[in-house]
Amino acid sequence: MTNTMEVALFQALLSGLAVGSAYALVALGFSVTFTTTKTLNFSHGEFVSAGAFIGMSVLLLAVGKPLTSTSFGSVQPGAMVQLIALLGTLALMGAIGWLLFVLGVRPFARRPGMAWVMSTLGFGVILQSIGLAIWGPKPVVVPGPLGDDVIRLAGIGVRPQELLMLGVALVVMLVFDYVMRRTMVGKAMRAVAHNPGVASLMGINVSMMMVGAFVVSSALAGLSGFMLAPIAQASLFMGLAVGLKGFSAAMIGGLNNARGCVIGGFLLGVLESFVNLWSAQWREVAVFMLVILVLAFRPNGLFGSHTVEKV
């Protein structure tokens, strides 16, 4: 009995870390835009779904199937095709992020009020409507690059895509952390986040940094959707929950702390998975109770810092 319980707990831990890596990528995207521009993309969930469908479309076209297909059948896209699909997804999602900033954020960011909130929400509705017109509402089974056979590790069953997603997410987070802390681009982004006016006087292209923040954030959302699609099936509605959990993870970790956002994502994923062992109906209750408790006692998140506005 004890051995069975241990296997179940380790199984839940591994699954939680895999799903948590998707939340962490989304939370990291929220942190990038907030620290640089003091704005958020409230259509981030739709960007996750868009990333899944753009990648799926490249794969479908590569194997000679129409975009409206709901299954790949017995066809397995090769590793090179999967890589091309991933790069295409990142590039196109980055371009959509640039478009969002130019049309939906920059015109309103300097004005009083919260007009940019509605503009980002509206952008997400438009994106989802375009997706429904192209692909329709049906979910699509997407093959993983490493196959779908379950791997057994000491009695624990894990899908290759879950391990791949966890590994890719960790690499992306480490690279991002290095860029932000050790390179000139990272220092420039942090300077813009601290004081855009002073950063501009120092010769930093503030507008370019802000555009870059939205490009990176959107690419991270696309990566999350692309990696999640073989696990949860590609659906135009899949991103809503992922985007909400990613935002919750960012609030728990602290929006102005990228490392905290990543930790928050993994924490939420593991909590979800463990509660699911006990009762799936209480999973969402536990997640958002944690968010409420953290914000009640730590309004800036577990790792966030309080920023003082000087006037």
Q: Is residue 260 part of a domain?
A: no
Total number of domains in the chain: 1
Find residue 71's DSSP bridge partners: 141
Residue 110 pLDDT? 66
Backbone φ and ψ for 156, nearest 5 degrees, come out as: -95, 125
Residue 3, pLDDT > 80, answer: no
Residue 147 pLDDT? 75
Overall average pLDDT of the 191-211 stretch: 85
Q: Where are the alpha helices (DSSP H) in the chain?
A: 2-37, 44-62, 79-100, 106-109, 115-135, 160-182, 184-194, 196-201, 206-232, 238-253, 258-278, 283-297
Residue 196, pLDDT > 50, answer: yes
Where is pLDDT greater, at 83 or 5? 83
Q: CA–CA separation, 18 vs 32, rounded Å?
A: 22
Q: CA–CA separation, 212 vs 183, rounded Å?
A: 15
Q: Is residue 15 part of a domain?
A: no
Residue 1, pLDDT > 60, answer: no
Overall average pLDDT of the 238-255 stretch: 91
Residue 72: both structure tokens together: 């790949």
Residue 278 pLDDT? 80
Q: Is residue 265 part of a domain?
A: no
Q: Is 152 exposed, middle or buried (0-12, 13-18, 19+ CB in 10 A)?
A: exposed
Q: Is residue 82 part of a domain?
A: yes
The range of the structural domain enclosing residue 172 comes to 25-240
Residue 205, pLDDT > 90, answer: no
Q: Is the CB of residue 165 less than 8 Å from the CB of residue 228?
A: yes
Q: Is residue 302 part of a domain?
A: no
The confidence band for 95, taking pLDDT boundaries of 50, 70 and 90, is very high
Residue 143 pLDDT? 85
Look at the chain and count its residues. 311
pLDDT tens digit string along 219-245? 999 999 999 988 888 888 888 889 999
User: From the CB of residue 258, how many other CB atoms can be counted at a distance below 10 Å?
Assistant: 23
Q: CA–CA separation, 144 vs 92, rounded Å?
A: 21
Q: What is the DSSP letter of 141?
A: B
Residue 50, pLDDT > 70, answer: yes
User: From the CB of residue 38, how many other CB atoms can be counted at a distance below 10 Å?
Assistant: 15
Q: Is 261 exposed, middle or buried (0-12, 13-18, 19+ CB in 10 A)?
A: buried
Residue 2 pLDDT? 57
- Percent of the chain predicted with pLDDT > 70: 95
Q: Is residue 308 part of a domain?
A: no
Q: Which residue has the tokens 């006990």?
A: 278
Find residue 152's DSSP bridge partners: 157
Give the SS3 label for residue 71: strand
Residue 309, pLDDT > 50, answer: no
Residue 126, pLDDT > 90, answer: yes
pLDDT tens digit string along 52-64? 999 999 988 888 8
Residue 260: both structure tokens together: 């905290």
Q: Which residue has the tokens 């480490």?
A: 174
Q: CA–CA separation, 237 vs 240, rounded Å?
A: 6
Residue 112 pLDDT? 67
- Percent of the chain predicted with pLDDT > 90: 33
Residue 310, pLDDT > 50, answer: no
Residue 72 pLDDT? 76
Q: Is residue 279 part of a domain?
A: no
64: left (phi over 0), alpha (psi -120 to 50) or beta: left
Lowest mean pLDDT among 72-81, 156-165, 216-225: 72-81
> In terms of Cα–Cα distance, which of 48, 45, 78, 66 is closest to 227?
48
Residue 92, pLDDT > 90, answer: yes
The confidence band for 97, taking pLDDT boundaries of 50, 70 and 90, is very high
Q: Is residue 75 part of a domain?
A: yes
Where is pLDDT greater, at 296 or 310? 296
Residue 307 pLDDT? 54
Q: Is the CB of residue 235 less than 8 Å from the CB of residue 139?
A: yes
Where is pLDDT greater, at 142 or 7? 142
